[in-house]
Amino acid sequence: MILIKNGKVVNSNSIENHDVLLDKSTIIKVGPNLVSGNKNCKIIDAVGCYVLPGGIDPHVHMNLSTPLGYSSDNFKSGSNAALYGGTTSIIDFVTPKRGENLDYALSSRIDEAKVSETNYSFHISLVEWHNNLEKQIKKCIKQGYSSFKVYMAYKDSIGLSDSELRKVMNIVGKLGGLLLIHCELGDKIDVLRNSLVDEGKIEPCYHPISRPAETESEAVRKAIDIASTEKCPIYIVHVSTKESVDHIRIAQSKGQPVFAETCPQYLILDDTKYKGEFDETSKYVMSPPLRKQEDSEALWNAISDGTIGTIGTDHCPFTKSQKEICRNDFRSIPNGVGGVEHRLALVYTYGVLTRKISINKFVEVTSTNASKLFGLFPAKGVIKPKSDADLVVWDPDAENIITASKHHQNCDFNVFEGVKTTGCPKIVIKNGKIVVENC
């Protein structure tokens, strides 16, 4: 039993000076002046701290298999880093090989994730169209997995053509699922990147030039159009541009079920990171690439007005040596950056403390909305009786500087190196147990 005293309990719609009593893995009471009545109860004094629902990161890739090996965080190391940052649940992906049954891919991925120190769930990627797909999707939904993911880029491996996308949307919509979409125009990008390399332009600075903003926003527009005719609710992952936000806002204003996510890297960093030498610039090779400062501003506004409802990290780090192998061709540099450990501190520092968003909005976009969208609510994403005892005692004043020498992510660099943060988890509780203390 744990009793958290004297904290400010923050939910997406309230902030109250309440105590929180936990028994085993459940919150049993929330209110003023609670006493436990159990002499073995551990008392946590949260005076001066916020008490937040455990963070939910709806977009991570642990142990992601690529032609250049696995991403450097596996489920054990990546989830451990997540806990240190106040994230107690992660949602990763099942990505079947073409020709592989979804059910088989799901059970193998569940096996890999068993070492995870956070709670975890999955979205299921649909990497091809075939006549058995409907049956397989039905089976996944029956097992409790109702969010699916498709890619409009990477067509030679996991991406779908427009006609496949339409058929998938039709089925997922009909079966009551939610479709996550990586929106980038793969064909156009392939032409651009190949012609750059043909001209000898092989450095990472050409990566963003090969994936300009309109290759994302045009894909967003197209996905919204198809989803509208096929009546499929969609969730656009890692939105990075102003124009994408405009398309999403218009669709939402017409009542279309379009949800959107962005990531800390698109809020905090910008494309000036691609200026310089390979060893530095290759670190920032991710898709979509970093954009301009005005895009970051548009993303913050979209979070503030609710157009963007969730912040995930797209956590997928690779080491310096994994990036280095591709010194002669930016096209083969493994795409991805790590951030699962820093999401809450970054959004708090650069969102709440700059008054772009409220503390309630902070909870909403880092926990509550993901819980609601992905079937975890009301067990997670809220502090109230009967909900799961996943909580963070948040010290709002603790100052830190992000650095690879201190982080828990398994990567020999950090894309947020040197970034100052204020606020961090003092205590993290997962399933009623203290898992991080005084970090």
**Cα–Cα nearest to 325, from 64, 69, 61:** 69
203 vs 314, beta carbon nearer Zn ion: 314
Q: Which residues are within 8 A (CB) of 392 and not within 5 positions of it... i.e. 6 or more apart? A: 51, 52, 53, 54, 55, 86, 88, 344, 425, 427, 428, 429
Q: Is 262 helix (H, G, I), strand (E, B) or coil?
A: strand
Residue 314 contacts Zn ion per CB under 5 A: yes
Choices 218-226, 312-320, 341-349, 431-439; region in contact with Zn ion by CB under 5 A: 312-320
Structure tokens at 125: 């990627």
Q: Is 247 helix (H, G, I), strand (E, B) or coil?
A: helix
176 vs 300: CA distance, rounded Å: 30
Task: Please give the residue whose beta carbon sits closest to Zn ion in the complex.
Answer: 314
117 vs 314, beta carbon nearer Zn ion: 314
261 vs 364, beta carbon nearer Zn ion: 261
95 vs 369, beta carbon nearer Zn ion: 95
- Angle, vertex CA 238, rays to CA 260 and CA 327, nearest 5: 170
Residue 184 contacts Zn ion per CB under 5 A: no
73 vs 203, beta carbon nearer Zn ion: 73
Residue 164 contacts Zn ion per CB under 5 A: no
Least separation in angstroms between residue 126's CB and Zn ion is 15
Q: Which residues are within 8 A (CB) of 308 and not within 5 positions of it... i.e. 6 or more apart? A: 239, 245, 248, 260, 261, 262, 299, 302, 365
Least separation in angstroms between residue 208's CB and Zn ion is 17
Least separation in angstroms between residue 154's CB and Zn ion is 11
Q: How many residues bind Zn ion (CB under 5 A)?
A: 1
164 vs 314, beta carbon nearer Zn ion: 314
Least separation in angstroms between residue 336's CB and Zn ion is 7
Residue 261 contacts Zn ion per CB under 5 A: no
Instruction: DSSP letter for 285, please.
Output: -
DSSP bridge partners of 70: 65
Least separation in angstroms between residue 286's CB and Zn ion is 9
293 vs 296: CA distance, rounded Å: 5
Choices 45-53, 308-316, 370-378, 406-414; region in contact with Zn ion by CB under 5 A: 308-316
Least separation in angstroms between residue 237's CB and Zn ion is 6
Residue 73 contacts Zn ion per CB under 5 A: no
Task: Give residues in contact with Zn ion (CB under 5 A).
Answer: 314
